[in-house]
Amino acid sequence: MSEPEEASDYYTVLGIIRTATSDQIRSAFHRFAREHHPDNFAGAPPEEGEPHTELYQLGSEAYQVLFDPIKRKIYDEGLEQGHVRYSADRAEETRRTMRPPGGLALRSSKAMTFFARAHKAMKVEDWPQAKLNLQMALQNEPNNEDLEGKLQEVLERMKSRE
């Protein structure tokens, strides 16, 4: 087994390309886990098991970051600047400055995704689609007054169309 390199980025650790899809990331992690999971080395001498444990922890971190679209975007931006590990500090700074289309401040990455879809639907006046996506955003971020206001705006547009 090769030693985990500190300079290895998450894509290299999982053996995938930067344009890998969610399904490809999931499959790569499952292959990785079958080989490096610490349970595979229970009872083995520490010098044999510990490198796998460390590599597995790095692979788990890689999977968690690359599978989440928001974390992956932040990671890719950091990778372009030479940062091979995900940084919670850098992510928090990025999140504070991230605003979905329409300028709403949202905390949940899923709510951001649904709001972005709703915003696109509103631009083309697809009110039923906008309503659905705003409702999904509200499920991920309940009691968000901005989202509720946008939903009311869409409902009013829908009523005026009838």
Q: Which residue, 102, 99, 97, 106, is CA-closest to 136?
A: 106
- Give whole-number Cα distances, 153 to 76, 119, 127, 131, 150, in Å: 35, 12, 10, 9, 5
Q: What is the residue-level pLDDT of the chain in tens, covering all 162 positions?
A: 444 445 589 999 999 999 999 999 999 999 999 999 989 888 888 888 888 889 999 999 999 999 988 889 888 988 888 888 887 666 565 555 455 555 566 777 788 888 888 988 998 999 999 999 999 999 988 888 888 999 999 999 999 887
Tokens at 149, concatenated: 């206001």
Q: To 10 degrees, the CA torsion angle through 58, 35, 29, 3?
A: 30
- Percent helix, strand and coil across the chain, each rounded to 5? 70, 0, 30
Fold of 10-97: Helix Hairpins (1.10.287)
What predicted TM-score, i.e. pTM, was given to this entire model?
0.55
Domain range list for the chain: 10-97, 109-161
